[in-house]
Structure 1
């Protein structure tokens, strides 16, 4: 099946959906489910196997979107920012599961500085957070926990000029910076030969990185990709 195009503020190439599993009272501790693969539809809240933490390379997003939005203000110097924390199935992902779209100020304060703007944080709650079975505050706590688990490679933290980098070397930089992260536990997303995101798979209790063959297979197929510098 061909993967749909990715719009960072509007959809997720790797989010897939299923609706066969029952919701759990404690989503973080629940056993993994084995639903049929579905792509882009609702499911019972709280039924999923693992998380994908999507880290957007902000300069790539801004170039692809003509510098739109507060994320792309000159001088912001943003590198990797949180796009989202997505509940996933082994084959599929839940999205738009219903529930309250409202996010309180207290909940948003828990991820202040992680998302590039509050509009994206609210969107991610409505599309993905509602599927976790958590409250907005608890979901954003999970986002903060997931982000804290990942060390950004120093070469990306200090990037000052555009480079062309082998896709494999981007993955390798992340596995070297995060000793328990292995090939097959992450993927690199690109658009028109330019870095867009790095997506890292985590257990649903956020204790470990974990293998995610379907996610890894969808890594960018370009041998080398352009990595624009923060500005």
Structure 2
């Protein structure tokens, strides 16, 4: 009987390994293949949190200065990220096609740091299956799809907010957006980002895995907009 029990456990273990391998190979068949993904995540970073955290770390590099100078940024675009239902591709072309400086400059109103724009193209844009100009046009269209609640456009004082309350505010002003298509991320105390899932044609899209990685704090701090 002990021998049979050992054999049974061994066979079960082999079965689990084989099933895992099959699942991995199914993912690997399109892993990092440009254009082969399920949906996008539009990531909107709360710029005052980014700048406050950078200051605490002593990070005053040129990229940080570009975003964290005197201009009153609120939500800025971190990126538009191709996603699988489980996991995501990245760096789908090595080396990546060089991004034209004129395209980078044209995006500074939404993504106020040149280094961020170049990195987003290398890491995420190359996975979209789009050319450089079309990818950044998609970012602009995706951003235009999402309305920011008015109370967060000119935040003049620190605000403490529950992540659920923030999601509800976005859902209220964006018809068709549900709480299964939006998540809030945070660091140890501050709001970091609002992430909204969009289909390839930039319609709101349910994304359970993104929601599972959401902030679990009861409340988060939103530092005020600079100059507010």
Bin the TM-score by the shorter chain: 0.7 to 0.9
Does the CA-based 8 Å contact 2:39-2:199 persist in structure 1? yes
C-alpha contact 1:110 1:137 (8 A) present in aligned 2: no
Larger radius of gyration: 2
The structure with the greater share of residues assigned to helix is 2
Cα shift readout 1:162-184 (whole Å, capped 9, x = no counterpart): 01111110101110111111111
Q: State the match for 1:228 in structure 2.
A: 223
TM-score, scaled to structure 1: 0.80
- Is contact 1:19-1:94 (8 Å) kept? no
Q: Quickly say closer, same or farther: Cα 1:144–1:76, change in 2 above 3 A.
A: same
- Map 1:184-195 → 2, pairs under 5 A: 184-195=180-191
Correspondence for 2:161: 165
1:140 to 136, 140, 144: 136
Query: CA RMSD for the aligned pairs?
Result: 1.4
Deviations 1:78-120, CA, capped at 9 Å, x for gaps: 1000000000000010001115341113432442411011211
Secondary structure of the equivalent of 1:121?
A: helix
- Gap regions ≥5 residues in structure 2: 1-26
Partner of 1:127: 123
Query: Secondary structure of 2:191's partner?
Result: strand
- Say how many residue pairs are matched: 192
The structure whose residues are more often strand, as a share, is 1
The alignment's TM-score, normalised by the length of structure 2, stands at 0.81
The answer to whether the 8 Å contact 2:154/2:225 transfers is: no
Task: Give ranges in structure 1 of 5+ residues lacking alignment.
Answer: 1-17, 22-41
Aligned residue in 1 for 2:39: 50
Q: State the SS of the aligned residue for 1:59.
A: helix
Look up the match of 2:204. 209
User: In the aligned structure 2, how far is the partner of 1:80 from the partner of 1:20?
Assistant: 36
Q: Which has the higher contact order (CA 8 A, sep 6+)?
A: 2
2:84 pairs, out of 72, 89, 100, with 89
Judge conservation of contact 1:110–1:141 (CA < 8 Å) in 2: no
| 2: CA distance, partners of 1:93 / 1:43 | 8
Q: 1:19 to 1:110 in 2, by over 3 A?
A: farther
Residue 20 of structure 2 corresponds to which residue in structure 1? none
